[in-house]
Structure 1
Amino acid sequence: MSGTRRPVGSAERRAARQTVTISFAGFNRAWAAWIGDRLERRGLRVVYLRWDAPPEVPLVDLLRGLSLAEGRVLILVSDWYFKLGPRTHEEWNAALGEVVAPDPSRFAAVSVTTAAIPAAAAVLAPADLVNIGPDEAERRLAERLDLPDAPPQDPADGRRAPRFPSAMPEVWGNVPRRNTRFTGREPLLNDAYHLLHGSEPGAGVLALYGMSGVGKTQLAAEYVYRFSSEYDVVWWINAEKRVSYRRQLAELAPKLGLSTGAEYGERLRAVRDALRRGEPFSRWLLILDGADDPDQIWDLVPTGPGHVLITSRNPQWGEHNSQLMQVPVYARDESVAFIRRRAPRLSEPDADQLAEALEDLPLLLDQTAGWLNDSDLSVEDYIALLEGGIDQDVVKVSADFPVAFQTAWSILLNKLRETVPESVDLLRLCTFFAPGFVPVRLLKDMPHDDLPEQLTGLLEDPLLWNRAINQLRQYSVVRLESHEATGEPGSASGESLYLHRMVHQIVRNDMPEPERREFIEVVRRALASADPGRATDTRLWDTYAELVPHLKHADVLKSQDTKVQRLVLNCLRYMYFAGEFSSGVKLGERALRAWRTTLGEHHPRIWELTYHYANLLRSSGDYERTEALERQAADHLRDERGDRDLDYLRAVNGLGADLWGLGRYDEALEIYQWLYPTYRDLLGEEDSRTLNALNNLGFGHRLLGHYQQALEIDEKTLESRRRLLKARHPWALMSEISYAIGLRLLGRYTEAESIQSKNVRECRLVLGSDNPQTLRSEHNLALCRLRVGDRAAAGALLTRVLERYERKLGDRHAETLAAAVSQSCFAREHGDIDQARETSESIIARYESLLIAGHPFIAGARANHALILRSVGEREHAHVLVEQALAEMTAAVGENHPYTLGCAINASALRNLVGDTEAAAELSRQTITRATETLGATHPLTLSARVAHAADLRGLRDIQQAEKVEQGALADLESTLGKQHVHTISARSRNRPYWDFEPQAT
């Protein structure tokens, strides 16, 4: 019963106004938050009441219920407020006239829209807040609520005010346009907000997961618009592939105002550091769209004070420090409301019937309702078609989808053909790119010579192009996105279309074979035309990162076009330098199979492909397989072309690296001792191929323990590469790492640490913090710091490096294992001995499964483990194991190799410990002799042998000789390392030295 209210006196009205209830549509939440904040800063109590209008409840009853809210009711007038239900304007006019008109003082309103609203809304006398600044908006708000003209006060808790809704965040990038037909999902949006804002700093990661077509991306986009006023940075990233994810994250650097150069890795590192620190912005939001494979990118998800919102079909994000929220299909009332908004001509029963037939899947509801609204076809007739009226032999696209999508899409494609046939051509072209973001600008940028006739007009006529895109957008087949140019070489700019993977699959399967052949060739040419041609230039890695995901869908490996084949080779080279080994190996394997079939076993391009594939395969640690591949290539090329052919020399160069991985160091050195002068004679000293051979010659000497020779070669290579290439070229930086390692292995620790510190900074800038070369640089820096005595810094860096190696390359990669060896040795002396033991046992097991029997790395890992057993009191076990390691290492690399000498130092200590003092002293004496011959009398390893021998002599009661040996060793330690060096201090305290095996990963 309606009745009338008694007049409200002025005193009562002032008291009631101490509380304001804000009634708003969820779509306008940003306005509600800003208005509520301004009112609270004026001392008012604010209650937020999201307007919900269930269609089964009469509108008059809903408004009467609203009138019972606390204090004065402030309605945020917008077209969305009146659309909920949905209700007609006539219904609203009647309800407003019945409930609000008799008591207008109970309600107040502000307008946040320029769209048409019911005429009766005038009774609310809304103050217009649109198209004005925040100061004027606040003045109008206060005036509408009869608030005193007093400046707002900052809250006691110091919280930051929400941003004025029409003001964009400081940084805004790649976010899809807001879907003005977005419907429902209110509980999901609210839960997402509370999960993210209620998380601890550094843990604000939420994954929205569900099947394809369920609306995960639309939900994430609506979250962005609804809550963007609480963020200073909003950045949307296509996260389907690691390479594209890294590129788009790096593009954020200039937007954050970070001072970086053009190098790809520098920008990527700077962005992650800035987000982690929360500088210059702590309120940031990243959206990782389409992240269906957590293993590809989870290690690159930023941490810090901001939030990360992920959309994925994969619930395994819950295993990677992410909160999970499942996105279901629409509830039926949401489906009905959405359909009626999308297709106003359909009645509520029609909408319900259609929703049931399409099982409430948002994507299909959107597309179907869109064209049904323009069609004379009834819902009943359409459902009959779905049930088999067009094609009785309908198959489902996926077990995930219970609806016969192929039939629904046949209907929609027929509609597109009837209206703008070029839109179907464009859509079919898009399916030869990867699903998701399709860089259609590549089609417009490519040369248009010899295009199929039906595509010439589409790609050359801007009006026809725009008409085709608009037709696809009208039926929600694609979404149009724009990307800004960064102004850097190779940066992506222009427009992209977003094509859902389900649409991609159906359209591609529906294509006639003649068009398939023509269209795929066009896309291949577009990709080849976009190839920058310089895969080692880090400034161009963004472009390669964008191209790589599309190679598979364009089926480029079947192309006979030499430009397309060159693109494949350049992408493989990029993946090698960028450290994308696993993906590169898969592409290389497919390419080798395909090209051997189409080009023949011995085509010249096969040898170039073999080179790139072998590099990636070797970098993945599969040395036996790579050695067989390279040897086969080398043998054939030598027989066919002779031993001065450049392809043959390149194959031999790779073969030497394979032999390193197999522990066959002598054979490898022989190869490079022949290969370097051969290259020099053919190409000259300054050719990059000559320098690569020289670099490998130096590394071959280092693996055999010829440290001084290796250092001299590394220095020469470094200087030449700097002259020929540039100081920050990846190869020049690698030579600098080699040079610093050489200095460290010769005991020149301070010099090594200084050079390596500089190199780490530059590798991070140029290559990125997670590039394998950067990790190798940091690993050596940690060992340098350990040798100069900075144990705390060394330990922390070793831990970080190992964690990142495991994420990047896996725990069975050679580089990862080398870092694990170092970390285990450090933990033995300065950390958790139980952890060290567990890690050491795991290292031995992994080496035994990966490497051939008798490999020096296995022997070295056992030598390290023996020291752990000694530390936990298992002396006899340790003694047996170290003797085994010494014998195996001697067999593997010879008795004078530094690895063997180190094992001998440890073995003499264990012999002494178990009471075999004479054998210990004899072994340490022999070790001094061999180390002096190999490394010199003052090398750290020789000095360790001398200190150890003094301890053995004391055990034999030969005190006088022990003193003499000890004093000589101490004097040399002081002169080479300094009186206060940790090794000198330890020797002076008569702590017996031990040797840590350090694998030189190839």
Structure 2
Amino acid sequence: MAQMMTAWNQGLQVGQNFGSINTELHLPPERRETPPPPFASIPFSRDLDFVNRGDILDQIDQRCSEPAGRVALVGLGGVGKSQLAIEYAHRIAASQPDKWIFWVHAGTQARVEEGFRTIADTVKLSGRNQPKANILQLVYGWLSNDRNGSWVLILDSADDHDVFYNLTGGDVSNRQPLATYLLQSRNGTIIITTRNKDLAFRLTGRRHNMIEVGPMAQKDALTLLERKLGFLPDTNVAVDLVHALDLVPLAISQAAAYIQARAPLSSPEEYLTEFREGDRKRSRLLEHDAGDLRRDGAASNAVLTTWQISFDHIRSKRPSAADLLSLMSFFDRQDIPAWLFHGMSTGMLRREYNAGDCESGISSSVTDGDADDDADDDSDDDFRDDLAMLRDYCLIVVDEAGVKFEMHGLVQLSTRRWLEVYGQLESFKQQYIKKMATSFPTGQYENWGICQSLFAHVQVALGYRPNEDTVRLWATLLHNGGWYAWSQGRFDIARQMLDMASKVCETRLGKEDAKSLQSISLLALVFSDQGLWEEAEKLQVQVTENFKTKLGADHPDTLTSMANLALTYRHQGLWEEAEKLQVQAMKIRKTKLGADHPDTVTSMHNLALTYSNRGRWDEAEKLLVQVMEARKTKLGVDHPNTLTSMANLALTYRHQGRWDEAEKLQVQVTETFKTKLGADHPDTLTSMANLSSTYRNQGRWDEAEKLELQVMEIRKTQLGADHPGTLTSMANLASTYWYQGRWDEAEKLEVQVMEMRKAKLGADHPDTLTSMANLASTYWDQGRWEEAEELQVQAMEARKTKLGVDHPDTLTSMANLGSTYRNQGRWDEAEKLELQVMEIRKTQLGADHPGTLTSMANLASTYWYQGRWDEAEKLEVQVMEARKTKLGVDHPNTLTSIGNLALTYNNRGRWDEAEKLLVQVIETSKVKLGADHPDTLTSMANLSSTYRHQGRWEKAEKLEVQVMEIRKTKLGADHPDTLTSMANLASTYWNQGRWDEADKLLVQVMEMSKAKLGVDHPDTLSCMHNLAFTWRSQGRCTESLQLMRDCVKAQQRVLGAGHPHTMLSSAVVAKWEWLEL
């Protein structure tokens, strides 16, 4: 048999075969597999540190409960989209065990297909192992079959549009985009996590189905930090740390992992300190991979690397958008103006590629290009498309109006690090400097709107260093930025910018270069406003001398620097030096430019202000009238400079007590400024403030208050709550409250102003010290003399150190402290201080200067309290006569002198002479100030006192009732001056033996005084003293003695045992106790 087969085989010969030989592999048929029951296929365990973030999970659940629900979690990489999806999946698995849950990583087509194959394997799909099986179609068919049960499909990291909309699957002839396999079924829900808003919209079909996931709320971020660390650091450190990390969950987790890995050598405090050291340190920390098992294995756990994946994708799809992102990374993260970038996509940021550029990834050249109108339109379209891509990838936030952008600080850091890797950091940094230098204008008022919108970005530029090509632009940018900051009262940042600008100019251009001198000159003005007058003087002398050498003594820039130096001398109280310089500048300008040249007129104006400081108001007035008329002719009636000279003339009128004329001019100036510049222009606000001061001088406090509130609120809105101008407004309002006797309100404002000035300007700044002095005055009126003394001593010593012993402000502090000593009955100390102030002012200002005369009047008051009436009278006569000559007979200060002399006559029993003087004062005050002016009423009260001493009680009573009623109407029933009138009327009743009426009034005064001023206020105690006498006169001896004892205890506690009032009350108690024996 075997031989036969051999022969047979040999006989079968196959010829040469030129055709194809097909072979088929026939596999045995598949056996049907039993599908498992529904279960959750979630590749990540549940996060025990998960922090629930508001209602996001509820929103997911709500969208998923809708038929064929689709929901997309959209947000920047690292904000926790996948973690929310993991938590939701685990919650559904626990609450609905009969529901299928499938997880597919959707970063690439291959991974999506891999995920669908896993689903096919999980549910044991028949035919899945066939070589030509279309897995996508098989899974699609299974998911669409209601009999297979309900399901949730999670597509994680679906960031790339091409993954879902390029053709895929099956034979070439029947390939479909992946998106077509994402069915809409009432039986299932699809959850997508993505960084791409546009893709999210296309996959879900509705904006309603998109949930934006941003950084965490602070409380959630702190909870996450605590859970990741296992403890919560110091609250301030924890808050600062999570905000430094932009509240991004991945960054917080990464930081916690870094700290834990290096414990105990690292701590949250040390991490935060290191993080703040600069971009390089921050980048190193944020490139640390935290190794989170709940993130896809292909995804980085370092937040910077995570974002740089998005950057690479944008660069490959739209290079101009990558350029825009690169430039924006150098700005401050908030309020990036859109107008800065219009036209940049095809112009300023035109890309030049070669093969190497495409490989390395980032365009290198930045060029300026001209374009026609069509090109501009195309450029705007390109710009909008670039923005759309950056917004869709959640890298920027665009405001509703589309005019401002915002970026996360860490995204900016990541972008800069990305640029550094590709060697493009320096190129874009220099482009940023160019862009800002050419966009940021000078600090003049008309530019403030633009300056305000860009200033935060200029501050950022301060930290960047220019190269040789951009160094001059950078210095110009800092100069203009410093100019604007100075105009806004932001002196610290102005000083920093101008110091840097001047140093760069000096190094690059030389100390004598005009740009260097301009920055130094502006820096000197900043020093001056900071009260650093010696530093300002030093710089201004330097600038003036350099200008003289370089440009000549009569060059306009030299003369301007001389004017600035004179201004500093004026601040220092060096008025002779200021006047000398101003006269010199004025004469040169008259000769060089002509008498009516604007610069000459400005010199005359400045000289007039110095005359005003020196109390030479007639000379000041003469010059200011001349200036005003010249400006009216040369510039026009409504020119700002004309209005400024009118405003200063009004101030001179005010100093002269010519308040009606001052008011008339100020109203005119204010209304013109409103029309010309606007109601909220700084010059308008200044004129309103000046007008309110005139109202205050006139005793029209309600009108003053109304204006001051208005000015304060506008300045708060326009300049900020801590701007020096705003603080001045608050201080002015406090002064008005003070005059109204609203001391609690005044105190509250003054404390606020003082603290803000300490923080803003420094504890020893002249304005801060003025605030302290004002607050001390309020304490003084409240009878809080110890507190007043403490503040006054502090202010005085600081002024001595800062300004010098003979500076006008120092002398004012000494005079105020002298008044406090006087009220405390410390007359020897008061006298010593007042003599010192008087002598210095005589030497410095002259014997007839208003300040000197005020010192003499204060010293006379101290003599008066000591009963040294001859010395008091001698000084008062001297002051009165000097004021008559210097200020005029009807000047308010002259009238005060006459009134003080009358009081001295009163105490000496020279009542006829006192009456004559007081009648004269009253009549003049009525004409000059008005019948209801506070000074007029004070004079009337003093005249009634004279009548009382003369026993002319009916006349006294009539005047006192009149004064009291006017004060009630004008000031209010509980104003301290009103209470004084009531007490005076009670004294008249008492002298007439009308003790019941006196008792009734005094009880009323005492109760109101307790409520208004406090139980321990000296005026309240004086009222107790007088009431005790009234009760004694009524025969209520026991009650009167007890009240006087209570009065003595309070006076000992408040005034001290040695105070004259205390000693008087003590003597009365002793006498009454003796009478009781």
Band the TM-score falls in, shorter-chain normalisation = 0.5 to 0.7
Offset of 1:888 from its aligned partner? 2.6
Secondary structure in 1 matching 2:841: helix
1:493 to 388, 404, 415: 404
The structure in which a higher percent of residues are helix is: 2
> How big is the alpha-carbon RMSD for the aligned residues of Structure 1 and Structure 2?
6.1
Q: SS of the residue aligned with 2:304? A: helix
| Match for residue 481 of structure 1 among 396, 403, 409 | 396
For 1:951, the aligned partner's letter is: L
Tell me if 1:809 matches 2:834.
no
Could you report, residue by residue, the CA deviation over 1:463-484 in whole angstroms, capped at 9, with x for unpaired residues?
999999999999xxx9722343
| Residue identity matched to 2:763 | D
- The residue type paired with residue 805 of structure 2 is A
Give the Å deviation of 1:653: 1.6
The match for 1:528 is: 437
TM-aligned CA deviation for residue 525 of structure 1? 1.2
1:29 counterpart residue number: 54
Does residue 209 in structure 1 map to residue 239 in structure 2?
yes
1:854-869 mapped onto 2 (5 Å cutoff):
854-869=806-821
Partner of 2:520: 610
Indicate how the Cα distance of structure 1 residues 691 and 206 shifts in structure 2: closer, same or farther if over 3 A, else same.
Answer: farther
Whether the 8 Å CA contact 2:846–2:852 is kept in 1: the answer is yes
Contact 1:579 1:771 in 2 (8 A): yes
Range that drifts further, 886-895 or 850-859: 886-895
In the alignment, what sits opposite 1:701? 611
Which amino acid in structure 2 is aligned with residue 367 of structure 1? Answer: L
Counterparts in 2 of 1:501 and 1:881: CA distance versus 1, 3 Å = farther
Q: Structure 1 pair 731/609, CA: closer, same or farther in 2 (3 Å)?
A: farther
Alignment of 1:107-506 (within 5 A): 178=214, 187-188=223-224, 208-211=238-241, 215-218=245-248, 339-345=292-298, 365-368=302-305, 433=331, 442=340, 448=347, 454-456=363-365, 480-484=395-399, 493-494=404-405, 498-499=409-410
TM-superposed deviation, 1:985 = 3.5
Shift of 1:824: 1.7
Query: Match of 2:395, as an amino acid?
Result: L
Corresponding residue SS for 2:396 = strand
Contact 2:879 2:897 in 1 (8 A): yes
3-state SS of 2:395 partner: strand
1:846 is displaced (CA, Å) by 2.0
Residues 696-735 of structure 1 aligned to structure 2 (within 5 Å): 696-707=606-617, 709=620, 716=646, 719=669, 728-734=680-686
Structure-2 change in CA distance of 1:219 and 1:949 (3 Å): farther
Alpha-carbon separation, structure 1, partners of 2:90 and 2:295 = 25
User: 1:829 Cα shift?
Assistant: 0.8
Deviations 1:204-245 (A, max 9, x none): x988535489735326999xxxxxxxxxxxxxxxxxxxxxxx
The answer to whether the Cα contact below 8 Å between 1:429 and 1:520 also exists between their aligned partners in 2 is yes
- SS of alignment partner, residue 705 of structure 1: coil
Pair 1:429–1:893, CA change in 2 (3 A): same
What letter matches 1:30 in structure 2? Answer: D
How many angstroms does 1:982 deviate by? Answer: 3.3
Cα distance change on mapping 1:450 and 1:527 into 2, 3 Å: same
SS at match of 1:217: coil
What is the 5 A alignment of 1:629-778?
629-673=539-583, 675=585, 693=603, 696-707=606-617, 709=620, 716=646, 719=669, 728-734=680-686, 737=689, 741=693, 759-760=711-712, 762-764=714-716, 766-778=718-730
* Distance in 1 (alpha carbons) for counterparts of 2:822 and 2:920: 28
CA apart distance, 1:716: 1.9
Task: Using the TM superposition, give the Cα deviation of residue 81 of structure 1 relative to its aligned residue in structure 2, in angstroms.
Answer: 15
Tell me the amino acid that sits aligned with residue 214 of structure 2: R
Residue type of the alignment partner of 2:809: F
Q: 1:140 matched to which residue of 2?
A: none
Contact 2:730–2:749 (CA under 8 A) maintained in structure 1: yes
Deviation at 1:655, TM superposition (A): 0.8
Deviation digits for residues 118-170 of structure 1 (CA, Å, limit 9, x no counterpart): x9xx999899999xxxxxxxxxxxxxxxxxxxxxxxxxxxxxxxxxx97999x
Q: What is the CA distance between 1:734 and its match in structure 2? A: 3.6
- State whether residues 815 and 833 of structure 2, in contact with CA within 8 Å, keep that contact through their aligned partners in structure 1: yes
2:884 is matched with which residue: 907, 926, 932? Answer: 932
Given that residues 457 and 464 in structure 1 are in contact (C-alpha distance below 8 angstroms), is that contact kept between their aligned partners in structure 2? no
Is 1:878 equivalent to 2:787 in the alignment? no
Against the structure 1 CA distance between its residues 550 and 918, is the aligned structure 2 distance closer, same or farther, given a 3 Å change threshold? same
Distance across 2 between alignment mates of 1:692 and 1:961: 50
Shift of 1:575: 0.7
Contact 1:836-1:868 within 8 A present in 2 as well:
yes
Is the partner of 1:770 in helix, strand or coil? Answer: coil
Aligned to 1:148: none
Identity %: 19
Q: Output the CA distance in 2 between the equivalents of 1:74 and 1:976.
A: 94
Distance in 2 separating the partners of 1:552 and 1:341: 41
CA 422–66 in structure 1, closer or farther in 2 if over 3 Å, else same: closer
C-alpha contact (below 8 Å) 1:181/1:341 kept by paired residues: no
Q: Which runs of 5+ in 1 are unaligned?
A: 1-22, 38-51, 68-72, 96-108, 131-164, 170-175, 192-204, 223-311, 316-328, 352-363, 375-411, 995-1002
Letter paired with 1:601: K
User: TM-score, normalized by length of structure 1?
Assistant: 0.57
Q: How far apart in 2 are the matches of 1:77 and 1:844?
A: 82
- Give the total of aligned pairs: 709
Aligned counterpart, 2:496 = 586
Letter in 2 for 1:344: G
Letter in 2 for 1:652: M
In structure 1, distance between residues paired with 2:595 and 2:390: 58
Given the superposition, is the C-alpha separation of residues 971 and 206 from structure 1 closer, same or farther in structure 2, using an over 3 Å criterion? farther
Structure 2 vs 1, CA of residues 744 and 437 (structure 1 numbering), >3 Å: closer, same or farther?
Answer: closer
| 1:895 aligned residue (840, 847, 860) | 847
The match for 2:376 is: none
1:961 aligns with 2:916: no
After alignment, is 747-756 or 575-584 more displaced? 747-756
Partner of 1:944: 896
Where does structure 2 lack aligned partners over 5 or more consecutive residues?
Answer: 1-47, 63-79, 107-114, 124-148, 158-180, 193-206, 228-234, 253-270, 275-284, 353-362, 370-378, 629-643, 648-665, 947-975, 978-1077
Deviation at 1:845, TM superposition (A): 2.4
TM-score of the superposition, structure 2-length normalised?
0.54
Q: 2-side partners of 1:685 and 1:761: how far apart?
A: 41
Residues 928, 800 of structure 1: alpha-carbon distance in 2 compared, 3 angstrom cutoff: same
Residue type of the partner of 2:732?
N
| Aligned CA distance change for structure 1 residues 445 and 574 (closer, same or farther; 3 Å) | farther
2:885 & 2:927 partners in 1: Cα distance?
20
Please name the residue that 2:484 is paired with: 574
Letter in 2 for 1:625: E
Match of 1:403 in 2: none
Q: In the aligned structure 1, how far is the partner of 2:792 from the partner of 2:324?
A: 57
Task: Give the SS at the match of 1:525.
Answer: helix
* Matched residue SS, 1:367: helix
Structure 1 Cα separation of the partners of residues 609 and 704 of structure 2: 17
Distance in 2 (CA, whole Å) between partners of 1:839 and 1:76 is: 76
Shift of 1:770: 3.4
Structure 2 CA distance for aligned equivalents of residues 893 and 220 of structure 1: 70
| Pair 760,80 (structure 1): closer, same or farther in 2 beyond 3 Å | farther
1:849: which partner in 2?
Answer: 801
Give the partner amino acid of 1:209.
V
1:834 to 780, 783, 786: 786
- Structure 1 counterpart of 2:357: none
Structure-2 separation of matches of 1:181 and 1:429: 29
| Contact 1:828–1:836 (CA under 8 A) maintained in structure 2 | yes
- How many angstroms apart in 2 are the aligned matches of 1:847 and 1:569? 32
Deviates more, 1:811-820 or 1:515-524: 515-524
Q: By how many angstroms is 1:751 displaced?
A: 8.1
- Contact 1:433 1:554 (8 Å CA) reproduced: no
Structure 1 Cα separation of the partners of residues 596 and 695 of structure 2: 24
Pairing of 1:771-810 with structure 2 (within 5 A): 771-784=723-736, 786-787=738-739, 794=746, 797-810=749-762
